Each structure stands twice: as C-alpha cells, then as structure tokens.
Amino acid sequence: MAMKRRRFRKRWIALAVCLLLVVPAVSYVRALLYPGSASFSVRTVEWFRDHGGGGLIDAIETWKYSHQQPPATGAPIDVTVPATVPPPAAGRPGVRPTSAGLPVVHLLPGVPALAQEGVWSVARQSTTGVPLIWTSWFRTDPGHLPVTAAAALLPRSSYHLHLNPGTREPIVGMKSRSGYSVPQADRPNLVATFNAGFKMNDSHGGWWTTESAAIPLVDGRASAVIYRDGSARIGTWNQTVRMTKDVVAVRQNLDQVIVDGQIVPGLTANANGRWGTVRSQFQYTWRSGLGTDAHGNLIYVVGSKLTLATLAAAMRQAGIVQGMELDIHSAIVSFDIEQPGPNGAVTGHRLLPSISSPANRYLVDDQRDFFYVTAK
C-alpha cells in the first residue's frame, strides 16, 4: 500500500509540473505567433519582460552593452567620409556653415572637421523643390571619436506628424481605424517613418489620441504633442505643454533630456530611474531622440554606441532646445526616408545605413507604436 501511495503521489506531482509548464509554454507560443512584425529575439525578450523577467533582462543588457565600449580613435562608424575635406568655417571654430533657417551643428571642440561633417543637406524634397527633410551627421563622443550620430530635420511648415498604434503597443489588441501600419490613404504623401518610445510599461508615461485614451497621461513626463495642423512640440506635461482643443495626440516617454537648450543634469547618475533602469544610461547601444529647435523645426537624432549622455550631447549639437529620448537598441531604432512611387509603392532608405530594422518597417503591421510624417 505504501508503495502504491508513493507512486500515486509521484504521478500527481508529475501532472502538476506538466500543467505548470503548459501554461507558460502556451503563452510563449502565442507571443511568437501574435500579429505584427517583430523578430524572434524581440518577441522572446519581451515575453520574458511581460512575465516577470524584466529585472534579469535589464541586468543582461546592461552587462552586455556596457562592455561594448567603442575604440577611442579611428574612422567614423556608420558613415562614409568623402576624400575631399572642405576648409573650416572662417572665424567660427567648432561649427560648420549651414543653410538659412537651419540650426548650426556644433562639432566637437579641438577635433578637425571631416568632409561634410555637420553640414545639412536636402534628403527629400517635394515636386515643387521645397525641402521636406534635411539631414546631417557628426561625431559626438570626444572619448570615442568613431562614434557618430545622424540628424533628420523636418521644417516646421512642411510636415504633418502622425502617431499610430501597433498590435501590442500601447496596449495589446487596441482597436485602430488607421490599422497598425502607415494607412494606404497617407502613402502618396509619405515623407518618413520612425520609432516611438519605450514600451508603455517602461515609459513611465501615457499614450493619447482623439481616437483612444489608451494609457493615462502623467504629469511631469517628457511628451511629444501633436496638434491639429500636424505640427509638434516637445515638452514636460502640464508644465510646458498641456491639453488644449488643438491637441490630437500625445506620446510620453521618461523625462526630458534637453530643456531650454541645456542638457538636463543627472543623466550620468539617472537617480530614481528617470530615464529607464538605473544603470541603463551606461549602455553603448543604438539610441534615438526627438526634439525641436529654436524655430520649431522637428529634429530626430540617432546613433549607435551611444550612452544616454552622448545621445543628449548629440541632440544638443544638432540644435535641439527641447528634447526627449525615444527608444533604444538595434532591433527597435528605425528612421526611414520614404519616397512614394507613381504606382502606389513606397521606397525607403535609412537615415544611417547600419540601421538594421526591416526596410519596410511600418509599411506592414508592426507590434510597436510609431510616428510617420506626411507632407503638407
């Protein structure tokens, strides 16, 4: 009898273990199969985060990226430097000449400028010749000279910014009249697509449009605010930006990194996790940021091997006076300059050639929310 009871108990234990394994296995398979574009690795990492593994994932990422420090010297990464080097701007050390109405890109002091470094050039224009996107690149880390950042500037009078949900962000299964990719109706006028901020669970903020108040907005958080005319402002919610009848969308993410043209103190300490997990600011990884310059032009900045501090420095170099961090890591960061064709197809090219996200990202359904830009 004792032998039978032990066998019976072992069978129940084995059954219980199987049931405990079945539930997470089913959940994981659902995550792998959930609609919306996302790689296997991204789906796996985010499933672990959603099931209590965020702390472990953060620790692994911090260890990994903090030990991928770039070299101190060498050729710039992510860009090709022309052989001809133009003379520096006379009487203005550390800056480069620029087109009227665009911010001067401030280069690293004491470091000779490379060809085309810090020079704005037209990357996309309308059929009438009006510039729709200006781009520039520059080095941003004096301790690691190969590290470069790129900036894309959208002139205030030319763009219409849109915020679109994904299949899982800001909330899983959110209904959307516009779908989860750039709507077909907007593709003939499409100018650019780019990533939004952290997952909402990690953003410390909210997500709101006239269609859906998905996540409550949080006072004091960095906010990209889109207005009825398509223009955008970056500010701190209920301090420098707030709800008005002209607001059509708000995407919040952490705290501001640039305020009134100055880098916010404390980025290297990240006390209280204002900009993500406490040690995430030391990771040398892909990072992106969004801001406005003194004229209200919208500027997106991106680069690899950036820490939080060097991202903020790059944003200020590009002329941003109000700015916020967006998302990080190679699988997420994405900026594509889009060129619609006569047959309805859209061809995109990346702001930096080493951006690794799919070339058609946001032209097909994606799991993450995102921004896209159309021409006025």
Q: Which residues contact residue 111 at a Cβ distance below 8 angstroms, ignoring those fewer than 6 apart?
A: 139, 142, 145
pTM to 2 decimal places: 0.89
Is 280 in the same domain as 193? yes
Give yes or no: residues 280 and 330 share one domain.
Answer: yes
Q: In angstroms, rounded to a whole number, what is the distance separating the alpha carbons of residues 335 and 275?
A: 22
99-154 pLDDT tens trace: 668 999 999 999 999 999 999 999 999 988 899 999 999 999 999 999 999 999 99
Residues pairing with 258 in the sheet: 263, 323
Q: Which of the residue ranges 28-42, 64-78, 209-223 has the most confident prediction, judged by mean pLDDT?
A: 209-223
Q: Could you tell me if 369 and 344 lie in one domain?
A: yes
- How many folded domains does the chain comprise? 2
Residue 155, domain extent: 75-375
Query: Can you read off the two tokens belonging to residue 320?
Result: 């941003």
Identify the residue with better confidence: 27 or 2: 27
Average pLDDT over residues 220-225: 98
Per the listing, tokens 């960095």 go with 222
Q: Distance (Å, rounded) from C-alpha 148 to C-alpha 249?
A: 31
Tell me what pLDDT residue 97 has. 58
If asked whether residues 45 and 111 sit together in one domain, one would say: no
The per-type count for the chain, helices as H runs and strands as E runs, is 5, 17
The mean per-residue pLDDT over the stretch 182-211 comes to 96
Tokens found for residue 235: 């500010």
323 and 189 in a common domain: yes
33 vs 131, higher pLDDT: 131
Range 239-262 average pLDDT = 98
Q: Are residues 172 and 319 in the same domain?
A: yes
Task: For residue 135, tell me if it sits in a domain.
Answer: yes
Predicted local confidence at residue 14, as pLDDT: 55
Same domain, 342 and 278: yes
User: Do the domain assignments include residue 60?
Assistant: yes
Q: Are residues 231 and 327 in the same domain?
A: yes
Examine the pLDDT at 91 and tell me if it is beyond 60: no
Q: How many CB atoms lie within 10 A of CB 28?
A: 15
Give the C-alpha separation, 152 to 145, whole Å: 21
Q: Is residue 141 part of a domain?
A: yes
Indicate whether 59 and 105 sit together in one domain.
Answer: no
Domain annotation covers residue 340: yes
Nearest residue to 135 (alpha-carbon basis) of 117, 150, 114 = 150
Q: Alpha carbon of 20 to those of 49, 69, 304: distances in Å?
A: 19, 41, 41
Q: Report which of 262, 255, 263, 266 is spatially closest to residue 222, judged by C-alpha positions.
A: 255
Residue ranges of alpha helices (H) inside the chain are 2-33, 40-48, 54-66, 200-203, 308-317
55 and 186 both lie in a single domain? no
d(CA 176, CA 156): 27
Looking at residue 62, its pLDDT comes to: 74
pLDDT at 94 over 80: no
Q: What is the mean pLDDT of residues 256-275?
A: 92
Please count the other Cβ atoms lying within 10 Å of the Cβ belonging to residue 293. Answer: 20
* Residues β-bridged to residue 209: 249
Whether residue 70 lies inside any domain: the answer is no
Residue 148 lies in a domain: yes
Domain match, 97 and 32 both? no
- 251 shares a domain with 176: yes
Beta strands in 100-177 (DSSP E): 121-125, 131-139, 148-154, 159-164
| Mean pLDDT of the chain, nearest integer | 87
Tokens of 93: 């050390």
Which range, of 125-134, 161-170, 220-229, averages the lowest pLDDT?
125-134
| Of 100, 42, 48, 102, residue with least CA distance to 357 | 42
